[in-house]
Amino acid sequence: MNFKLEIPSHLSYFGTLVQSDEHLPLLEAAVSLAQDEYPELDTQHTLGEVDHLLARLKRRIPADASTLHRLRVLNHLFFDELGFRGNVNNYYDPDNSFITQVLKTRQGIPISLAVLWLEVATGIGLNAAGVNFPGHFLIKVQLNFPNEGQVIIDPFTGRSLSKEDLLEMLSGMPGLPNHSSKLFERQSSITDLASSDPGPNFRQSADAILMHYLKSASEREILQRMLSNLLEIYKTQNDPARAQQVQKRIDILSLAQ
């Protein structure tokens, strides 16, 4: 009797990873997106690199460290020492979406940088999540006592964003819902908002809008956005073959819901 060992295809492997929301391994699924472009990619090796980064970080953090201290140590290592940053010179390079390439070049787009950052952040006990902010993926972290509060971070730069920063980002986005557009029409610029008190109604409306746009993104939503980014890049580059491969993954992700 002949036994044939069949190696799962890249698409079937991806399908296995995303079949359940309850145990969807975001990093592994995100790493696997590069297998269409790099068929010999060893996903386990890449995961091991991230584990090594996490172990390096853990050695720097005391067991009783506050969440604020953990966040500061993480950001110093990730953005300052290792130099992870946005690829401002070649933003639409597909490699910016592939985790294994981001680890090599330490450059990416907001969402790929965020996926790496979130993996190590949760590994050191931070309550962190991705945010599907319009036009620019963000990270949020909930801090505990005595520094209670929420910190919003731009993974492209490593900078913490204020309420005014976020409102300005929204004000420049086309296609906002009517209630958002009307809110911003009341102020000619964010400078006006900062230099004068627009009143309690405006502040409450702004807070409500930010709360809506700062909702946590699920693992599936993050993968959907990564794939949508890639699809748009390949369409813009007039590369139908690669676009078709990405669309297959989008279909698998949608069907698995």
The tens digit of pLDDT for each residue in 195-210 reads 444 455 445 677 888 9
| Domain end among 160, 175, 203 | 160
Same domain, 84 and 203: no
Look at residue 193 in the predicted model and tell me its pLDDT: 42
Tally of domains in the chain: 2
Summarised one tens digit per residue, pLDDT across range 111-150 is 999 999 999 999 999 999 999 999 999 999 999 888 889 9
The residue behind tokens 């809506």 is 212
Same domain, 170 and 154: no
Same domain, 61 and 28: yes
CB 86 within 8 A of CB 156: yes
What are the structure tokens assigned to 44, written together?
Answer: 């386990």
Higher pLDDT, 255 or 26: 26
- CB atoms < 10 A from the CB of 127, how many? 13
* pLDDT(183) > 90: no
121 Cβ contact list (under 8 Å, min separation 6): 71, 74, 128, 139, 141
**pLDDT confidence of 189, banded at 50, 70, 90?**
very low
Can you tell me the distance from the alpha carbon of 27 to that of 11, in angstroms, rounded to the nearest whole number? 16
Contacts 24+ apart (CB under 8 A), 58-61: 58/123, 58/124, 61/124
Stated length of the chain: 257
- CB atoms < 10 A from the CB of 177, how many? 10
Summarised one tens digit per residue, pLDDT across range 34-71 is 999 999 999 999 999 999 999 999 999 999 999 999 99
Same domain, 48 and 118: yes
Q: Which domain holds residue 60?
A: 21-160
Same domain, 182 and 199: yes
**pLDDT confidence of 15, banded at 50, 70, 90?**
very high
Look at residue 203 in the predicted model and tell me its pLDDT: 57
Look at residue 173 in the predicted model and tell me its pLDDT: 73
Summarised one tens digit per residue, pLDDT across range 98-107 is 999 999 999 9
**pLDDT confidence of 257, banded at 50, 70, 90?**
low
CB 136 within 8 A of CB 127: no
